[in-house]
Structure 1
Amino acid sequence: MLRYLNGYGPEVKQQVQQLIDNDQLGVWLQRRYPPDSGHAIQTDVALYDYTQRLKQQYMRSSGPISKVFFDTRMHVIDNALGQHQFVSRVQGNKLKRKNEIKVSALLKTLPEALLRMVVVHELAHLREKEHNKAFYQLCQHMQSDYHQLELDLRLFLTFREINGDK
């Protein structure tokens, strides 16, 4: 039941299990993210603009992003709600590389802070391909509470799973 929390210690899992057992996880999430904490980023164009603003603010020297979009087919696979891809295409006698980011459409319905966390995560992959120390430092540079937001997103996913929304 706590599959989204596999990387966390027993104390965190125990606290979450207590919230679940007491039917309080939803209450806790709603207190932390009131219903009005949603966002207006509902289209691919809005998501692209949002991502570009973050990139411009924190990662100007990184390569350009050619495409950012919500993927309605992306479900939580290997705990991922976003994906960064390097797409290589042959154009004439040249090999063109493009950066593309896709984000699960589920994030349209979650608070903006959680959408931002996923976008920050995918942007960090422009510089760091692996999930290493430098990668997470970059994420924290762009989003100081990155680790808390990642945990909160995992709690949202756990809550959805408990309530049958997969």
Structure 2
Amino acid sequence: MGRYRLHVNGERREVDLPAQTPLLWALREQLGLLGPKYGCGVGACGACTSLVDGQAARPCVTPVEEVRGKRVTTIEGLSEDGDHPVQRAWLELGVPQCGYCQAGQIMSTVALLAANPDPDDAEIDAALRDNVCRCGTYTRVRAAVRRAAELKRGER
């Protein structure tokens, strides 16, 4: 067991876990952050996607010891009231069907738009290719990414 001080959603938090425990379990079980979902446990589905130092990461395969000194952001940390441009775009376009994958889709989109504020469809598809949506909302996801980019630029 080890005590790890983490910087999660703008707050310093502590967890007691073995070093190789996946970050996902620290977030969900010890910190009560249920936005990142457990999907596959091998980093293949994207349901758990969160940001580590602004980059999309898979907490299900990221050991808690690897995030010491790094900023972790889950969907709960994007905004207090859902007014982040990506969240607004998702709601405006009614993207979710079942919603299970949406937190991961949103977090991957946040990372994409931070790196590329005006991605084309091929860039959107490449950035979100590892976020699996069993409901098949990919067309709405792509439209929402474009809309979020507009909102970030201040376009109406």
Q: Same fold (TM over 0.5)?
A: no
In our comparison, the structure showing a higher alpha carbon Rg is: 1
The two structures have a TM-score, normalised by structure 2, of 0.32
- Bigger helix fraction: 1
